[in-house]
Copies of this chain bind each other. A is one copy, B any other.
Amino acid sequence: MRTVAALRARVREWNAAGQSVALVPTMGALHAGHLALVAAGLARADRVVASIFVNPTQFGPNEDFSRYPRREAEDAAALAGAGCHLLFAPTVEEMYPAGFASSVQVAGLTAELDGAHRPGHFDGVATVVSKLLNQAGADFAMFGEKDYQQLLTVRRMAADLDIPTEIVGVPTVREADGLALSSRNAYLSAEERARAALFPKTLMAARDAIRAGTAVETALAEADAALRAAGLVPDYVALRDAETLLPVTVLDRPARILSAIRLGSTRLIDNLAV
């Protein structure tokens, strides 16, 4: 479906039949991580709607909006194969008609980490997700833990604005060598792809070191140095509170190690529970 009106009519039919609905918001270029979101939606709700929308407002002027991979027909087939009931794929004009002027901002959670390196990114995310949630009127919306800061930001936004959709986090899906699945992995050359496995390996080593009692500052500095030595240039490597994303200097509560690196012209993010 291409229009909000058509989406709403279908969801209304399902609701009238007593069926619950889960939304899986995506930017397309689907991989097994997205299909895990569909599976998680099917486990929670009677019907699953996936959306594909490459949202221009969450890309910076020097980011990869124009080259972001688009392959709708393949994505539609993959979603159907995974048991998804409906694909909502609106145009930019349907989402942002002439005169559009509103934005949603979430303070605090978005100030650092990816927020510091991608100005305006989380405003774009919060705004488009508030729209998608209100459009779909779903009972649940599934977001991957791979984009951990996004997951917390969306959960905060939905709670703050009283959007009656439960935000569900779904664990990251990884390749055999540990690399988190991402549509951006497609940008990597074969050599870069092989080297990218050092990214999760380094984070796992830092996690294990912190758990084993290495000082947080030391473990993070070692991870940063190891990534740099491999040509995976970190934007940040940080240990943060798993709920507030405030810095954690001593591991006395649930935390998350989060990092973004640049490998050639590709930027990758990952995170792990500690």
Contact = CB atoms under 8 A, between A and B. Distances in A.
Interface of A: 4, 8, 99-109, 126-127, 130-131, 134-135, 137, 156-157, 160-164
B164 A104 contact: no
- Say how many copies of this protein the assembly contains: 2
Nearest to A8: B164
Given A101-B160, A102-B161, A130-B161, 9 more contacts: A100-B160, A101-B107, A101-B109, A102-B157, A103-B104, A103-B105, A104-B104, A134-B134, A134-B163
Contact of A156 (B101, B106, B157): B101
A160 B102 contact: yes
Contacts of A105: 102-105
A3 to B, nearest CB: 12
A134 B131 CA distance: 12
B4 A162 contact: yes
5 contacts: A8-B164, A103-B104, A103-B107, A104-B104, A105-B105
